[in-house]
Structure 1
Amino acid sequence: MSPRPPLAGAKTWQAVIDTANSQCQCSGSCGKDHTKTGGRCDRTHGSHAHKHGGGQVRLIAAPAEPTGLLLPPHQAAALPTSHLAAWCPACHDAARRAAAKAQQATAPAVEPDALF
Protein backbone atom coordinates (compact mmCIF):
# COMPACT_ATOMS: atom_id res chain seq x y z
CA MET A 1 0.00 0.00 0.00
CA SER A 2 1.38 3.40 -0.86
CA PRO A 3 1.31 5.96 1.93
CA ARG A 4 -1.77 8.15 1.82
CA PRO A 5 -0.97 11.68 2.97
CA PRO A 6 -3.19 13.67 5.30
CA LEU A 7 -5.40 16.38 3.84
CA ALA A 8 -3.31 19.22 5.30
CA GLY A 9 0.49 19.41 5.21
CA ALA A 10 0.78 16.60 2.69
CA LYS A 11 4.20 17.69 1.35
CA THR A 12 5.72 17.92 4.82
CA TRP A 13 4.18 14.62 5.90
CA GLN A 14 5.39 12.89 2.73
CA ALA A 15 8.95 14.19 3.22
CA VAL A 16 9.01 12.88 6.80
CA ILE A 17 7.56 9.48 5.83
CA ASP A 18 10.00 9.14 2.91
CA THR A 19 12.97 9.97 5.16
CA ALA A 20 11.75 7.33 7.63
CA ASN A 21 11.28 4.77 4.85
CA SER A 22 7.60 4.50 5.93
CA GLN A 23 8.63 3.07 9.33
CA CYS A 24 8.05 4.45 12.82
CA GLN A 25 11.24 6.14 14.00
CA CYS A 26 10.73 5.57 17.74
CA SER A 27 13.82 4.10 19.34
CA GLY A 28 12.56 3.84 22.89
CA SER A 29 11.00 7.20 23.76
CA CYS A 30 7.71 5.37 24.20
CA GLY A 31 9.08 3.31 27.07
CA LYS A 32 9.70 0.16 25.04
CA ASP A 33 13.25 -0.75 24.11
CA HIS A 34 12.25 -2.28 20.75
CA THR A 35 15.11 -4.78 21.17
CA LYS A 36 13.30 -7.49 19.22
CA THR A 37 13.28 -5.21 16.20
CA GLY A 38 16.81 -3.81 16.33
CA GLY A 39 16.11 -0.87 18.63
CA ARG A 40 13.51 0.78 16.39
CA CYS A 41 9.75 0.30 16.27
CA ASP A 42 8.88 -2.01 13.40
CA ARG A 43 5.48 -0.58 12.52
CA THR A 44 5.23 0.60 8.96
CA HIS A 45 2.66 2.82 7.32
CA GLY A 46 -0.22 0.77 5.97
CA SER A 47 0.76 -2.41 7.80
CA HIS A 48 -1.61 -4.24 10.08
CA ALA A 49 -1.47 -3.41 13.80
CA HIS A 50 -1.76 -6.65 15.72
CA LYS A 51 -2.68 -5.11 19.07
CA HIS A 52 -5.19 -2.61 20.37
CA GLY A 53 -7.97 -3.35 17.93
CA GLY A 54 -5.87 -3.99 14.86
CA GLY A 55 -6.48 -1.93 11.76
CA GLN A 56 -3.92 -0.30 9.56
CA VAL A 57 -1.04 1.72 10.97
CA ARG A 58 -1.18 5.38 9.95
CA LEU A 59 2.11 7.10 10.69
CA ILE A 60 2.13 10.62 12.13
CA ALA A 61 4.67 13.33 11.32
CA ALA A 62 5.40 14.96 14.69
CA PRO A 63 8.34 16.51 16.56
CA ALA A 64 11.28 14.12 16.74
CA GLU A 65 12.22 15.07 20.31
CA PRO A 66 9.80 13.80 22.97
CA THR A 67 9.71 17.23 24.64
CA GLY A 68 8.60 18.65 21.29
CA LEU A 69 5.51 16.47 21.48
CA LEU A 70 4.30 18.80 24.23
CA LEU A 71 4.37 21.86 21.99
CA PRO A 72 1.05 23.50 21.14
CA PRO A 73 -0.16 22.34 17.70
CA HIS A 74 0.55 25.68 16.00
CA GLN A 75 4.19 25.58 17.16
CA ALA A 76 4.66 21.93 16.21
CA ALA A 77 3.22 22.64 12.75
CA ALA A 78 5.79 25.40 12.25
CA LEU A 79 8.79 23.11 12.85
CA PRO A 80 11.03 22.41 9.85
CA THR A 81 10.95 18.92 8.38
CA SER A 82 14.39 18.19 9.83
CA HIS A 83 12.90 18.43 13.34
CA LEU A 84 10.09 15.97 12.62
CA ALA A 85 9.94 12.19 12.76
CA ALA A 86 7.50 9.48 11.74
CA TRP A 87 5.62 8.01 14.71
CA CYS A 88 3.10 5.20 14.90
CA PRO A 89 0.13 6.25 17.05
CA ALA A 90 1.06 3.88 19.90
CA CYS A 91 4.64 5.17 20.22
CA HIS A 92 3.55 8.79 19.73
CA ASP A 93 0.97 8.63 22.51
CA ALA A 94 3.27 6.77 24.93
CA ALA A 95 6.22 9.13 24.26
CA ARG A 96 3.97 12.15 24.75
CA ARG A 97 2.68 10.79 28.07
CA ALA A 98 6.23 10.03 29.22
CA ALA A 99 7.42 13.53 28.27
CA ALA A 100 4.49 15.13 30.10
CA LYS A 101 5.18 13.03 33.18
CA ALA A 102 8.88 13.95 33.12
CA GLN A 103 8.05 17.63 32.66
CA GLN A 104 5.61 17.53 35.54
CA ALA A 105 8.16 15.82 37.80
CA THR A 106 10.76 18.53 37.14
CA ALA A 107 8.38 21.49 37.36
CA PRO A 108 8.73 23.57 40.52
CA ALA A 109 5.96 23.17 43.03
CA VAL A 110 3.46 26.01 42.94
CA GLU A 111 2.53 27.38 46.33
CA PRO A 112 -1.15 28.18 46.77
CA ASP A 113 -2.09 31.79 47.28
CA ALA A 114 -2.79 32.73 50.86
CA LEU A 115 -6.43 33.22 51.68
CA PHE A 116 -5.73 36.35 53.71
Structure 2
Amino acid sequence: MNGRTPPLGDTTGLWQAVIAAAAGRCQCRGTCGKKHDKDGGRCPVVHGGYARHGTGPVALLAAPADPDGLLLPPHRAAALPKRELAAWCPACHDATRRRAHAARQATAEPTGPDALFDL
Protein backbone atom coordinates (compact mmCIF):
# COMPACT_ATOMS: atom_id res chain seq x y z
CA MET A 1 0.00 0.00 0.00
CA ASN A 2 1.48 3.34 -0.94
CA GLY A 3 0.74 6.58 0.86
CA ARG A 4 -2.32 7.44 -1.22
CA THR A 5 -3.91 4.17 -2.36
CA PRO A 6 -7.63 4.99 -2.60
CA PRO A 7 -10.37 2.52 -1.73
CA LEU A 8 -11.98 0.73 -4.67
CA GLY A 9 -15.24 2.69 -4.32
CA ASP A 10 -13.60 6.13 -4.62
CA THR A 11 -14.79 6.81 -8.15
CA THR A 12 -15.27 10.56 -7.56
CA GLY A 13 -11.95 11.28 -5.85
CA LEU A 14 -13.68 12.43 -2.65
CA TRP A 15 -11.62 10.12 -0.43
CA GLN A 16 -8.40 11.34 -2.04
CA ALA A 17 -9.44 14.97 -1.54
CA VAL A 18 -10.22 14.42 2.16
CA ILE A 19 -6.96 12.56 2.80
CA ALA A 20 -4.94 15.18 0.89
CA ALA A 21 -6.57 18.01 2.89
CA ALA A 22 -5.53 16.17 6.07
CA ALA A 23 -1.97 15.72 4.74
CA GLY A 24 -2.48 11.96 5.00
CA ARG A 25 -2.82 12.05 8.80
CA CYS A 26 -5.71 11.25 11.13
CA GLN A 27 -7.50 14.46 12.12
CA CYS A 28 -8.71 13.32 15.55
CA ARG A 29 -7.98 15.89 18.22
CA GLY A 30 -9.07 13.90 21.24
CA THR A 31 -12.71 13.07 20.54
CA CYS A 32 -11.69 9.40 20.79
CA GLY A 33 -10.82 9.82 24.46
CA LYS A 34 -7.05 10.06 24.01
CA LYS A 35 -5.38 13.41 24.38
CA HIS A 36 -2.72 12.78 21.72
CA ASP A 37 -0.46 14.97 23.91
CA LYS A 38 2.80 13.65 22.49
CA ASP A 39 1.78 14.77 19.02
CA GLY A 40 0.57 18.31 19.52
CA GLY A 41 -3.02 17.29 20.26
CA ARG A 42 -3.57 15.48 16.95
CA CYS A 43 -3.48 11.75 16.32
CA PRO A 44 -0.10 10.76 14.83
CA VAL A 45 -1.38 7.93 12.61
CA VAL A 46 -0.66 8.40 8.89
CA HIS A 47 -2.21 6.60 5.95
CA GLY A 48 -0.06 3.64 4.99
CA GLY A 49 1.90 3.85 8.23
CA TYR A 50 1.74 1.67 11.30
CA ALA A 51 -0.30 2.50 14.39
CA ARG A 52 1.60 0.08 16.66
CA HIS A 53 4.40 -2.42 16.37
CA GLY A 54 3.11 -5.68 14.97
CA THR A 55 0.10 -4.27 13.15
CA GLY A 56 -0.39 -3.90 9.43
CA PRO A 57 -0.49 -0.62 7.54
CA VAL A 58 -3.33 1.72 8.46
CA ALA A 59 -5.91 2.81 5.89
CA LEU A 60 -7.49 6.13 6.84
CA LEU A 61 -11.24 6.60 6.51
CA ALA A 62 -13.08 9.62 5.13
CA ALA A 63 -16.00 10.02 7.52
CA PRO A 64 -18.06 12.83 9.07
CA ALA A 65 -15.89 15.30 10.98
CA ASP A 66 -18.57 15.90 13.62
CA PRO A 67 -18.74 13.04 16.15
CA ASP A 68 -22.56 13.09 15.98
CA GLY A 69 -22.26 12.70 12.22
CA LEU A 70 -20.60 9.34 12.78
CA LEU A 71 -24.02 8.10 13.94
CA LEU A 72 -25.70 8.97 10.63
CA PRO A 73 -27.02 6.10 8.53
CA PRO A 74 -24.47 5.14 5.85
CA HIS A 75 -26.52 6.56 2.95
CA ARG A 76 -26.69 9.99 4.64
CA ALA A 77 -23.01 9.97 5.63
CA ALA A 78 -22.05 9.09 2.04
CA ALA A 79 -23.93 12.15 0.78
CA LEU A 80 -22.01 14.66 2.92
CA PRO A 81 -19.86 17.23 1.11
CA LYS A 82 -16.06 17.27 1.46
CA ARG A 83 -16.07 20.20 3.89
CA GLU A 84 -18.01 18.08 6.42
CA LEU A 85 -15.63 15.11 6.23
CA ALA A 86 -12.37 14.36 8.01
CA ALA A 87 -9.67 11.72 7.84
CA TRP A 88 -9.90 9.18 10.66
CA CYS A 89 -7.72 6.23 11.59
CA PRO A 90 -9.89 3.19 12.39
CA ALA A 91 -9.06 3.29 16.12
CA CYS A 92 -10.05 6.96 16.58
CA HIS A 93 -13.11 6.55 14.33
CA ASP A 94 -14.44 3.58 16.30
CA ALA A 95 -13.71 5.11 19.71
CA THR A 96 -15.30 8.45 18.75
CA ARG A 97 -18.35 6.69 17.35
CA ARG A 98 -18.75 4.65 20.56
CA ARG A 99 -18.46 7.80 22.70
CA ALA A 100 -21.00 9.66 20.55
CA HIS A 101 -23.40 6.73 20.80
CA ALA A 102 -22.99 6.56 24.59
CA ALA A 103 -23.58 10.32 24.88
CA ARG A 104 -26.73 10.05 22.78
CA GLN A 105 -28.00 7.15 24.92
CA ALA A 106 -27.30 9.11 28.13
CA THR A 107 -29.38 12.08 26.96
CA ALA A 108 -32.23 10.05 25.45
CA GLU A 109 -35.49 10.13 27.33
CA PRO A 110 -36.40 6.84 28.92
CA THR A 111 -39.20 5.00 27.21
CA GLY A 112 -42.34 4.18 29.09
CA PRO A 113 -43.52 0.70 29.96
CA ASP A 114 -44.64 -1.55 27.15
CA ALA A 115 -48.38 -1.11 26.56
CA LEU A 116 -48.72 -4.84 26.05
CA PHE A 117 -48.25 -5.39 29.77
CA ASP A 118 -50.34 -2.50 31.16
CA LEU A 119 -53.01 -3.68 33.56
What TM-score does the superposition give when structure 1 sets the normalisation length? 0.94
1:7-46, aligned counterparts within 5 Å?
7-10=8-11, 11-46=13-48
Offset at 1:60?
A: 0.2
Q: How many residues were matched structurally?
A: 115
After the TM superposition, list the runs of 4 or more consecutive aligned residues in structure 1 that deviate by more than 2 angstroms: none
Q: Report the more deviating stretch, 68-77 or 3-12.
A: 3-12
Q: Specify the alignment match of 1:48 in structure 2.
A: 50
Render the CA deviation track for 1:26-68: whole Å, top value 9, x for unaligned.
00010001111000000000001216x5110100000000000
Which residue type is aligned with residue 31 of structure 1? G
For 1:108 and 1:84, locate their aligned partners in 2 and report how far apart those are by CA, in whole Å: 29
SS in 2 for 1:50: coil
SS in 2 for 1:25: coil
Q: Percent identity between the aligned chains?
A: 59
- 1:87 equivalenced with 2:71 (yes/no): no
What TM-score does the superposition give when structure 2 sets the normalisation length? 0.92
- Gap runs ≥5 in structure 1: none
Q: Which has the larger radius of gyration?
A: 2
For 2:56 and 2:87, locate their aligned partners in 1 and report how far apart those are by CA, in whole Å: 18
Q: Specify the alignment match of 1:66 in structure 2.
A: 67
**RMSD after superposition:** 1.2
Which residue type is aligned with residue 65 of structure 1? D
